[in-house]
Amino acid sequence: MGLLLLALLFGVGALALVTGLRGPNPVRGNQALSDARADAQRWYERLGGQLMTLQSDEPAARQALADAAERYHAAGGQLDRADSIVQFALARETALEGLAYVRAARTAMGLEPGPEIPAPAMTAEAGTVEGNHSVVIQGRTYQAGPYATEQTPYYYPGDRQVPAGWYSTPWWKTALGAGAGALGGMMIFDALFGHRGPGPF
C-alpha cells in the first residue's frame, strides 16, 4: 500500500512538472487573444457607425472625416490579417486614431465632440497646440492652431513629436517618412514651434 501511494504521488508530481514545462495555459492565452480581438472590433465598429451618420460640406470637417475613413479602412485590413494580441492592439490604435479625427470633425461642425475615447498611444506624448503659430519658409506660409479655420483645415491627432491640432497643410505626412521629406517636415516643425520638447506648443 505504501509503495502504491508513493508511486501515485510520484506520478502526480511528474504530471505537474510536465504541465509546467509546456508553458502558459493555452486556454488563458486564447482568452487574452479573444479579448484583444473583441476590443479592437468594438472600436472599429464604433468608428464605422460614426462615419455612417456624419457628413459635412465644411472643408475642415470634410477633410477630417476623409482622414477618419482612411483609418477605418486601414483598421479593417489590420483586423483581417491579425492573429496575435500585438496585431489586434495595432488595429485598435488605428481605429482610435480614426475616432480622434471624427471628434475633430464634429468640433469643426459646431457639434459636441461626443464621448471620450482612450487616447491612441502615440498621440498623448506631444500634447496639443495651444496657440496660433505661423512661419514662412521659402516663401510658403505654414500655420498651426487649436481650432479649425480657413487657414488651418487639416487636423492631426498628434504623435510622439507633432502636437495634436489644426494645420494649414499636412506636412507631417512627409515628416513621418524618410529622407529629404522627413528633414523638410522636421524643419517646418522646428520653425513653427521652436523646440521639440513636450507641450504646450
What's the per-residue H, E or C state across 51-72? Answer: HHHCCCCCHHHHHHHHHHHHHH
Q: What is the pLDDT of residue 180?
A: 41
Indicate the range of 11-25, 59-73, 109-123, 138-152 predicted with least confidence: 11-25
Residues facing 155 on adjacent strands: 166
Q: How high is the mean pLDDT of the chain?
A: 80
Return the top range by mean pLDDT from 91-105, 126-140, 162-176. 91-105
**What pTM value is reported for the model?**
0.77
- DSSP one-letter code for 24: S
Q: Are 148 and 105 in contact (CB under 8 A)?
A: no
Other Cβ atoms less than 10 A from the Cβ of 143: the count is 16
Q: What 3-state DSSP class applies to 25?
A: coil
* Ramachandran angles phi, psi of 166, nearest 5°: -110, 140
Q: Give the mean pLDDT of 24-32.
A: 68
Angle in degrees, 0-180, between the axes of helices 85-108 and 59-81, rounded to the nearest 10:
170
Give 157 or 175, the one with higher predicted confidence: 157
Q: Give the mean pLDDT of 135-164.
A: 89
Q: What is the pLDDT of residue 109?
A: 93
Nearest to 40 by CA among 87, 109, 101, 100: 87
Give 15 or 99, the one with higher predicted confidence: 99
| pLDDT band of 194, cuts 50, 70, 90 | confident
Q: Give the mean pLDDT of 50-68.
A: 93
Give 183 or 102, the one with higher predicted confidence: 102
H-type alpha helices, the chain: 2-21, 26-53, 59-81, 85-108, 172-175, 180-193
Q: Give the mean pLDDT of 174-191.
A: 61
